Amino acid sequence: MNPSASSDATTDNDSGDLFKSAASLVVKVAIGSAVVIGVIILLAVMAAPESVSSSDMSERAVAARIQKVGSLALGDAVGSGPRSGEDLYKARCAGCHAAGLLDAPKLADKTSWGPRIASGYAALLNSALKGKNAMPAQGGTDFSDVEVARALVYMTNAAGASFAEPKAESANAAAAPVAKNAKP
């Protein structure tokens, strides 16, 4: 036997296997892809709604499906009235004044409140309503001017002042000193 002939036969045989395995691979990939696509189509059909009727697509039905989770009603709450100075302090002022953030005088700190109290109720109320330094204006917010005045009286009296708490009917009187001391 010729050794070169047997090696040629092996080479021919190897190239034939290569074509057979390449063709086999293509067939296997095609079958696998077809199975995957078939499963995806089957799942899509199973997940799709049975039918969509015209009543499901009406404006009212669509609006009900996309409605907001909550709603906001503006106005006074039932039984609401002017809050006390302590209530407003806890709701709005304590965030800065309890910890002394941004140089806000702490509640009952006579050293910090002393010079401010000496400037008088009208000047303090003006600062509270219109804002001063890092403190934003409290007037014109969710709280009335009387409530802001009550919070001011609560904080200053805790530090040693003896301001009288404004009454609800004296809302204009609480703001009147502010108008006199207001700067243009």
Say which residue the tokens 């709604």 belong to.
49
Give residue-wise pLDDT tens across range 139-172: 777 788 888 899 899 999 999 888 888 887 554 4
Give residue-wise pLDDT tens across range 38-56: 999 999 888 776 655 566 6
CB 134 within 8 Å of CB 141: no
DSSP for 127-180, please give it: HHHH-BTTBPP-TTSSS-HHHHHHHHHHHHHHTT--PPPPPGGGHHHHHHHHHH
- Fold type of domain 85-181: Cytochrome Bc1 Complex; Chain D, domain 2 (1.10.760)
CA angle, residues 93, 107, 95, in degrees to nearest 5: 30
Residue spans per domain, the chain: 3-48, 85-181
Q: pTM of the predicted model, to two decimals? A: 0.51
Give residue-wise pLDDT tens across range 58-90: 788 878 778 777 766 666 554 466 788 888 888
